[in-house]
Amino acid sequence: MKITETGFQGLLLLEPVVFADTRGYFMESFNKETLRKAGIAFDPVQDNESSSVKGVIRGLHYQLRPFEQAKLIRVIEGKILDVVVDMRRTSKTFGQWFGVEISSELKKQLLIPRGFAHGFSVQSKTAVIQYKCDNYYRPGYERGIALNDPSLGIDWRTDQSKAIISEKDLKNPYFRDAENNF
């Protein structure tokens, strides 16, 4: 597995080795021991999967301490722009965002450490996203940041006037007003 740093501490791109032939392909999408040998501690306890159509933007979501989550994101079908915002107050990249295209074709994965808000926009007709979390979902600790916060200036690569966004996500506060205990 190839592991690439992103310039944000702990935020990593993972590229599994893919064995392809006339039958299709095989890859190991997760191996705790491989990550441990690379110095990465990630112990997932929950798997999530979502399906969305082109134009959907989900996020930016996170959970407060003590239920913050690290996540390993991969796309099973389609293509997304995956976006994270660093909420760790002591981080050199606090308040900055990072985006990367993840697709079922390229098979890259994004390992997001605790202390980041996460979201994505669907770039293909449909997309199925699977992600492992190292802490359980706790609705009372879930928070969000406005997708269109001008201080962040995220380019979602989607026409915002035609974007499909949940009512809940439309009510999220700007970054400066978001509850943050990281």
Q: Is 61 a catalytic residue?
A: yes
What distance in Å separates the CA atoms of residue 49 and residue 54, rounded to the nearest whole number? 17
Residue in 61, 62, 118, 141 annotated catalytic? 61
Identify each DSSP E strand in 33-125 by its residue range. Answer: 46-53, 57-63, 71-77, 79-86, 97-103, 109-112, 116-122
The catalytic residue among 25, 131, 137, 141 is 131
Active site residue 62: no
Give the DSSP H or E segment for 169: helix 167-170
Omega of the bond prior to 66 within 30 degrees of 0, cis?
A: yes
- Enter the DSSP assignment of 139: G
Which residues are identified as catalytic?
A: 61, 131
